[in-house]
Amino acid sequence: MARPLNFRHVETIYAVLLTGSVTGGAARLHVTQPAVSNLLKEAEERLGFPLFERHAGRLVPTQKAELIFEEIERSFTGLDAVNSFCARLAKQETRKVVIGATPAFATAVLPIAIRAYRETVDDVHFSVVSRRSDHVQALVASQKVDIGFGLEEPAIPGVSSTLLTSERMVCVLPAGHPLASKSVISAGDLCGEPMISLSHVERIDDIVEAAFADVGGSPPAVAECPAALTALAMVEAGIGFAIVGPFSAWLFRHGTVACRPFEPVTKLNFSTFTVPGRKENIDQAAFLKLVDDAVKQVHATMTLSQ
């Protein structure tokens, strides 16, 4: 091939092959018939072989033209996908709301609140970012998310932190564990039991260790996990017990583990992080009310005696 085809040649060949005529190709491209004929002639010169033969006044594509059509169609399918994606972006524009939250909160609470908001307030497009609490707060500070939810964190400039709920921690045991017969599990009950501990990053494990220190003992830790959901999967596998927040325990509420209140009463404070004065992409007051309702719904469906 002396010279390569350009995009204009390619779309002309495709249009004529697709419609079956120069007239149809011209209409599809919104150009004149002579312009299409000239582009086809130029394309054949560049290729060094004919693309069409004339039979009874009709253009009949050659075998090579048919092969070219298949190749162009594959490429244009990708272009159509790009155009569809751009159209979806155009529809979203400023109506995209980004919510940041810890993994358990994002999984247990946000789906309930988001569904209610879209059904009763506005069918805005939501994007959920799941991170640990300090990262959520930092994302709010940098205005990469609109609203954040996580464990109470030290204040940082520019971010308003409001207490959302104070949640009692839960002891989660493998199903059928002897201690599951108790209505409440105390730290003293667990001193000889294998424990799945949580990472110290979010300070949850520090809180748990302090509770055991009060009874003068500490259960043997057989594994450490960075996320409560991973720890609970290990509990479900029968490796040991874990002390976690109720939102994490709620996700395993269907009988695969036993969840019991933990004593001494140990609470986790969950906060809402926002940037005061930021332009809102959402009716923030309405959404926060629905989040509060979702927390209450989780409480209502949380079984601590299964």
State the sign of the Cα–Cα–Cα–Cα dihedral 122, 137, 135, 295.
Answer: negative
Helix, strand, coil % (nearest 5) of the chain? 45, 25, 30
Tally of CA atoms within 13 A in the half-sphere of 200 that contains its CB = 3
pLDDT at 88 over 80: no
Eight-class DSSP state of 49? S
pLDDT of residue 80: 65
The total number of residues shown for the chain amounts to: 306
What predicted TM-score, i.e. pTM, was given to this entire model? 0.66
Each residue's pLDDT tens digit, 56-70: 777 888 888 888 887
pLDDT of residue 179: 93
Beta strands 267-274 and 195-198: pairing type? unpaired
What domains can be seen in the chain, in order of their start residue? 7-92 (1.10.10.10), 94-166+269-301 (3.40.190.10), 170-265 (3.40.190.10)
Average confidence (pLDDT) over 198-225? 80
Name the range with the highest mean pLDDT among 78-82, 87-91, 149-153, 196-200.
149-153
Between CA 196 and CA 220 the distance in angstroms is: 9
* 284-301 vs 110-120: helix crossing angle, rounded to 10: 130
pLDDT of residue 306: 42
Each residue's pLDDT tens digit, 158-211: 999 999 999 999 999 998 899 989 999 999 999 889 999 887 656 777 788 888
Average pLDDT, the chain: 87
More confident: 81 or 305: 81
Between CA 10 and CA 2 the distance in angstroms is: 16
